[in-house]
Structure 1
Amino acid sequence: MTPSLRHGLRLMSLWLVWLLAMLFHVDLGLMPLFHGQSPEIHSHVEASALPWLFGAMLGYFLLPLIAVVLIAYACTSSAPPQRWRAWRRIHFWFSVVYSVTNLPHLIADILVPDARVDQIVLMAGLVVVGLLINLEGWSWWRNEPAANG
């Protein structure tokens, strides 16, 4: 197995695990609905800003899906190896942004007065998976011999 394919498989798996955990985080947040309780969190977001917020969340979920597809193409392309080097660099920094956004979310989940342990554990897992994505992305970008893409 080539180094590019090895990194690609690891990255695709990690991103998919991250996405599933993120969806489960949202799902767990809604679980009180099924037990006659309100999942409402007191929000300071104006109703007029909600469409923007929903769009931002859509983008937050779609970008990792796009990354998975681009990783698959980068690792299986018959094009010259250097063609995908810029994508590997962009991917690494993209993954760092996602890790940076998960840390405040974890902290916020911990600081919520009625914090739920399941949500905190899941967010901690998301942070760990994000850090693994960062490490693998760094390795894919920096440590791979130029001949292997």
Structure 2
Amino acid sequence: MSNNYQEKIIALWIVFLLGTLFHTQLGLMPLFHGLNVIESHTVKSINQISGIMWLMLGFFALPILAIIATVFTDNRRYRVIHFGLTVFYSVLNFIHLVVDVLLPQVIWYQITLMLLLFLIGLLLNLVAFQWMKAPLRDHHRVPERLA
């Protein structure tokens, strides 16, 4: 197994984002079956949920930015910040999982998906931790076969 942590981290973040998007999509599936979904476009309703929408944007945007930063950054400080970000997301996923289980009507396919996302997050924690502890690459060193 290779030690290209950056590639593994990027792949795991992408899988996580796809799973999160699917989680959101599952909540909208009743629309495709003709079931009633409360929808309101009044100014009052939009103002009430605008904070939630900004939080959702941040929740999706941070992993996207982490993917870009992981492609272009390989320094110790970023590795530590990135590991902290992965732990933060695991904590949020765990809280989300617990809250979903405590709802009056438990939707088990959503719980199963949230559990899968939580486990992917733990794997991301592990790989991010390994990358954080790995030695930095020396990009200025001349390869031995050329020296």
Larger Rg belongs to:
2
Q: Same fold (TM over 0.5)?
A: yes
Q: What is the Cα deviation at residue 147 of structure 1?
A: 4.7
The answer to whether the aligner puts 1:118 opposite 2:109 as a matched pair is yes
Counterpart residue type for residue 93 of structure 1: G
Counterpart residue type for residue 23 of structure 1: L
1:29 touches 1:39 (CA, 8 Å); kept in 2? no
Q: Distance in 2 between matches of 1:38 and 1:73?
A: 46
**Equivalent in 131, 134, 137 of residue 128 of structure 2:** 137
The structure-2 alpha-carbon separation of the partners of 1:38 and 1:70, relative to structure 1 and needing over 3 Å to count, comes to: same
The structure whose RCO (Cα within 8 Å, separation 6+) is larger is 1
Point out where structure 2 has 5 or more consecutive residues left out of the alignment: 39-43, 140-147
Structure 1, residues 99-134: CA drift from partner, whole Å, max 9, x if none?
000011101111222221110010001100110111
> SS at the partner of 1:114?
coil
The answer to whether the aligner puts 1:54 opposite 2:53 as a matched pair is yes
Identity of aligned residues (%): 39
Name the residue aligned to 2:62: 63
Q: What is the Cα deviation at residue 52 of structure 1?
A: 1.4
Q: Distance in 2 between matches of 1:147 and 1:15?
A: 22
Q: Distance in 2 between matches of 1:88 and 1:59?
A: 20
Please, what TM-score do these two structures have when normalized by structure 2?
0.82
Q: Distance in 2 between matches of 1:131 and 1:71?
A: 18
- Which structure has the highest helix share of the two? 1
The answer to whether the aligner puts 1:20 opposite 2:11 as a matched pair is no
Q: Distance in 2 between matches of 1:148 and 1:109?
A: 46
Q: Distance in 2 between matches of 1:72 and 1:146?
A: 14
Counterpart residue type for residue 67 of structure 1: A
The structure-2 alpha-carbon separation of the partners of 1:37 and 1:71, relative to structure 1 and needing over 3 Å to count, comes to: same
Q: What is the Cα deviation at residue 39 of structure 1?
A: 5.1
Please, what TM-score do these two structures have when normalized by structure 1?
0.81
Name the residue aligned to 2:144: none
